[in-house]
């Protein structure tokens, strides 16, 4: 990664590494060899789970253990982490082996999700727990704000539809903007057009369904955020 790309990614992450080699390691997939991000991913996974768990514990003081566990599982899922990676435009910055590069690994949800966890672990090693937790909470701020005990088990498309119906607005319109990549590693780009938003929200994923859910989640975040201002 060039210094320019590193600087741009640092701005998106909201963190500048003192040890740049930790950032590079966090972005290095195991297809590159034995020096890869798997150990950092393990560390970051623990920090992520604790940080989100603590935030939910404080946000919902009357929630039962099972409810908190389901909310946390949704927030720390590979799907959500891949969404965050896409928001950071992490794919082009990944260090992948030749085989993964050719097969479109920079778009693969599991690889993107692992890199986000590895970055959390790297930030912790480069700084401290408070800093790593602060980055996690910043990256998840809108998602944490949108959580509700009333919506457990419902995906983003269902929650968006219910919100729009409760506010007497038209249902969302999902449109496939493009389909790229090779057959076994496709990337769907879906736009979600919603009454009340000037521009459509966009989701990118390896399936149309997941791209629609991602776009719906972003639309709901914008709508709920605007209604509280």
pLDDT, position 87: 87
| DSSP alpha helix (H) spans, 77-155 | 78-87, 98-102, 109-126, 129-139, 141-146
In the annotated binding site, the residues are 41, 114, 117
What are the sequence ranges of the domains in the chain?
A: 1-149, 154-229
Q: How far apart are CA 127 and CA 113, in angstroms?
A: 22
Question: Do the domains 1-149 and 154-229 sit in the same CATH topology, yes or no?
Answer: no
pLDDT, position 17: 96
Ranges of residues in the chain whose predicted pLDDT is under 50: 229
pLDDT 10s digits, 110-138: 999 999 999 999 999 999 999 999 999 99
pLDDT, position 114: 96
pLDDT, position 103: 84
In the annotated binding site for Mg(2+), the residues are 41, 114, 117
- Structure tokens given for 9: 């990614």
Q: How far apart are CA 200 and CA 212, in angstroms?
A: 12
Sorted by sequence, the CB contacts under 8 Å of residue 70 that are 6+ apart come out as: 152, 153
Among all residues, which ones are annotated catalytic?
45, 117
Sorted by sequence, the CB contacts under 8 Å of residue 35 that are 6+ apart come out as: 25, 28
Q: How far apart are CA 216 and CA 19, in angstroms?
A: 37
Q: How far apart are CA 209 and CA 187, in angstroms?
A: 11
Domain at 1-149, CATH from 3.30.200.20, 2.60.220.30, 3.50.50.60, 1.10.1520.10: 1.10.1520.10
Residue (of 90, 134, 123, 128) closest to 17 by Cα position: 123
**CATH code for residues 154-229:** 3.30.160.20
Residue (of 205, 177, 212, 209) closest to 82 by Cα position: 205
**Residue 108: burial class (beta carbons within 10 Å; 0-12, 13-18, 19+):** buried
């Amino acid at each position: 990664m060039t210094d320019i790309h590193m600087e741009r990614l640092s701005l998106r992450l909201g963190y500048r590494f003192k040890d740049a080699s930790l950032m590079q390691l966090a972005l290095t997939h195991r297809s590159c060899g034995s020096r890869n991000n798997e150990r950092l991913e393990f560390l970051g996974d623990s920090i992520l789970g604790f940080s989100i768990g603590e935030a939910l514990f404080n946000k919902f003081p009357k929630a039962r253990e099972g409810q908190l566990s389901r909310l946390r599982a949704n927030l720390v899922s590979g799907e959500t982490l891949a969404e965050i990676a896409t928001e950071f435009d992490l794919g082009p910055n990944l260090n992948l082996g030749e085989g993964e590069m050719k097969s479109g690994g920079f778009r693969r949800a599991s690889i993107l999700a692992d890199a986000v966890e590895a970055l959390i672990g790297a930030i912790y090693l480069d700084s401290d727990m408070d800093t790593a937790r602060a980055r996690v909470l910043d990256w998840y701020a809108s998602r944490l704000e949108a959580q509700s005990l009333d919506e457990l088990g419902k995906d983003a498309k269902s929650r968006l539809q219910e919100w729009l119906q409760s506010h007497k607005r038209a249902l969302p319109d999902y449109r496939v903007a493009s389909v790229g990549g090779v057959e076994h590693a496709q990337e769907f780009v879906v736009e979600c057009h919603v009454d009340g938003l000037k521009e459509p929200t966009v989701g990118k994923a390896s399936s149309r369904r997941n791209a629609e859910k991602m776009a719906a989640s972003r639309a709901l975040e914008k709508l709920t955020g605007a209604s509280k201002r």
